[in-house]
Chains A and B, each alone.
Chain A
Amino acid sequence: MKRLAALMLSALVALPAIAKDQLHLYNWNNYIAPETVKRFEEFCKCQVVQTYYSDNEEMLAKLAAGAKGYDVIVPTGNAVQALIRGNRLQPLDRAQLPNIKNVDPVFLDTKFDPGNKFSVPYAMSTTIIGYNDEKMKELGLPTDTWAVIFDPKHLEKVKRRVTVLDSPNELFAAALIYLGYSANDTDEKHWKEAADLIRKAKPYWAAFNASSYIKELTVGNIWLVHGYSNDIFQANLDAQAAGRKFRIVQGMPKEGAVLAVDSMVIPKDAPRADLAHKFINFMLDGKNSAELTNLIGSGNPNMDAARYIKPELKALPAVFPPKDVQARLVQLQDLTAAQRRLRSRMWTEIKAR
Chain B
Amino acid sequence: MHKRAPAWLGKWLVSGPPLLYLVVFFAVPSLIMVLASFRTPGEFGGLAPLVDESGAVDLTLDSYTRLLSEPLYAEIFVKSFWYALVTTVVCLVLAYPLATLIAKSERRHRDLLLLLVILPFWSNFLIRVYAWMIILGPNAALARAVNGVLALFGHEPVPLLFSAFAVLVCLVYVHLPFMVLPLYANLEKHDQSLLDAAQDLGASAWQRFWRITFPLSLPGVYAGSALVFIPAFGIFAIPDILGGPDDSLIGNVIKQQFLETRDWPFGSVLSLVLTVLALALAGLAAWIGQRGVGRLASGDA
Residues of chain A whose beta carbon lies under 8 Å from any beta carbon of chain B: 55, 57-58, 60-61, 63-65, 82-83, 85-86, 160, 166-169, 202-203, 205-208, 211-212, 215, 219-221, 334, 336-337, 340-341, 343-345, 347-349, 351-353
Contact = CB atoms under 8 A, between A and B. Distances in A.
A57 B130 contact: no
Contacts of B100: none
Interface residues of B, number: 40
A219 B137 CA distance: 10
24 contacts: A55-B259, A58-B259, A61-B262, A64-B262, A82-B44, A85-B44, A86-B45, A86-B46, A202-B245, A207-B243, A207-B244, A207-B245, A211-B241, A212-B241, A215-B133, A334-B44, A337-B40, A340-B263, A344-B256, A344-B260, A344-B266, A345-B70, A348-B72, A352-B246
B76 A337 contact: no
Contact of B45 (A82, A220, A345, A352): A82
Contacts of A352: 72, 75-76, 79, 246, 248, 253
A212 B259 contact: no
Given A221-B139, A351-B252, A352-B76, A61 B259 contact: yes
A145 B44 CA distance: 33
A167 B45 contact: no
Contacts of B252: 351
B133 A344 contact: no
Given A168-B260, A219-B137, A64 B76 contact: no
Contacts of B261: 340-341, 343-344
B260 to A, nearest CB: 5
Given A61-B45, A85-B44, A221-B161, A345 B137 contact: no
Nearest to A166: B240
A111 to B, nearest CB: 16
* Chain B binding surface, main DSSP class: loop
A238 to B, nearest CB: 15
Contacts of A337: 40-43, 48, 262-263
Nearest to B79: A352
A353 B243 CA distance: 14
A345 B67 CA distance: 11
Contact of A351 (B139, B161, B248): B248
A352 B301 CA distance: 43
Contacts, number: 112
Contacts of A345: 70, 72
A221 to B, nearest CB: 5
A212 B133 contact: yes
B43 to A, nearest CB: 5
Given A345-B72, A351-B246, A352-B246, A206 B159 contact: yes
Contacts of B40: 337
A344 B261 CA distance: 6
B162 interface: yes
B245 A219 contact: no
B214 interface: no
B72 A212 contact: no
Contacts of B161: 206, 221
B42 A57 contact: no
Contacts of B70: 345
Contacts of B162: 160, 206-207
Contacts of B292: none
Nearest to A163: B162
A60 B43 contact: no
Given A168-B256, A207-B245, 20 more contacts: A60-B44, A60-B45, A63-B45, A64-B45, A82-B44, A85-B44, A206-B161, A207-B162, A211-B240, A212-B130, A215-B133, A337-B48, A337-B262, A344-B260, A344-B263, A347-B256, A348-B248, A351-B252, A352-B72, A352-B76
Given A206-B159, A207-B243, A340 B139 contact: no
Interface string B227-270: 00000000000001101111010001100111111110010000
